[in-house]
Structure 1
């Protein structure tokens, strides 16, 4: 997944690498010495990075991955957790921002995922796993109760039964089991991760962005049982009356690829 950085003078938070190529941004968690775990500062930095990228009118998709081949993310930095050195709830701010992100998001697992890293990945729209990866979530081993929003995400994404296996038994799931419970959308050999990610990015960026973004909003609201039918009707009307819709019709008639402008 080679990227060309086009961020100009933009400075990104320590512990993150951000690369932008065309309509794609790739955020790489860069704390491999501690399995890409996130300190409070890292969580704030990642949240702020997402907020910055969300304002970029040229972007259509964001990929989240990690440095190294061992771990995508192991959740919160345990030293801070054990010392209770945290203020507010930066993890919830991060996961809410990621889940509600305007653009489609792809989690490209460079390795295994543990703890809160699993919830971070569940906030992405798509998850691409690699053969040999594992996942477990250990709050019951730490004597803590997982937060409500996180519990809802596990139940919503994989179902109640698998969520109980994940949280009540701290079962370690291998790649096949992660696919079987629906945690992964795609599972590929490690050597094919970049190509599969690129292909999914191409699929998404080739579609009408207003359609993709508004349907993402509606689907997430339906999943959370927070449906506002009037808002969905407004999104439908927005797409029907958009320049992109007219461009799609024209391109089909002219037998060419459409050029969308997100309006």
Structure 2
């Protein structure tokens, strides 16, 4: 099982995909290996669904009833985008985990909304890549770089053997005032932070569910940093031990709100 600890965008300096290809002829940059993109796998021009290469037959790419996700996306940080000045953009991505067996196909189509018509959106990355289980033989985090027409994204992941799924649900209630909150996860001996949420809380609400891969019997620590504009951030932590099945709930009382954390354990069988 694999989980993402972070996704980071690179500074943008090119006008098109040919420029990126010229700068990155398949060799590592900044000690980060590029992730190969299979030919004729673009969603933009529809080539992903045309032709009969063996990988399209083997993975039944045209069958839209099947979705296979290997990587658990944490956050996306985009550098300066052509024509769009400003600071870095942070976005929380979906959290997923699946059983890793043999070679796995990853399909992606990520665009940057410009505020205009959909046809004017900038294509960040688009295509299909393969991840072999031999590439992830140990539990050490590894990083690949995916290059696109408007920049690049670094994907950092770690393979966890004998792991189970932890579905994390966080509810905010009894909200006293507006505050900011950062929720991070540390687990399974990995030192890298898995960012689950980073944003403002203005009312009682439930955060989007996150799915984390955790080694059986290991501890999962969830750290909450909460603060307002006028105060120093305070840190609270709750911990859960991984089991095959079951559910556990803990509550954290802060000066701003009551935080209820529910974790449901399950296998991928």
- Structure whose residues are more often helix by fraction: 1
Using the size of structure 1 for normalisation, the TM-score is 0.25
Taking structure 2 as the reference length, the TM-score comes to: 0.25
Question: Relative to total residues, which structure has the larger strand share, 1 or 2?
Answer: 2
Greater relative contact order (Cα < 8 A, sep 6+): 2
| Higher gyration radius (CA) | 2
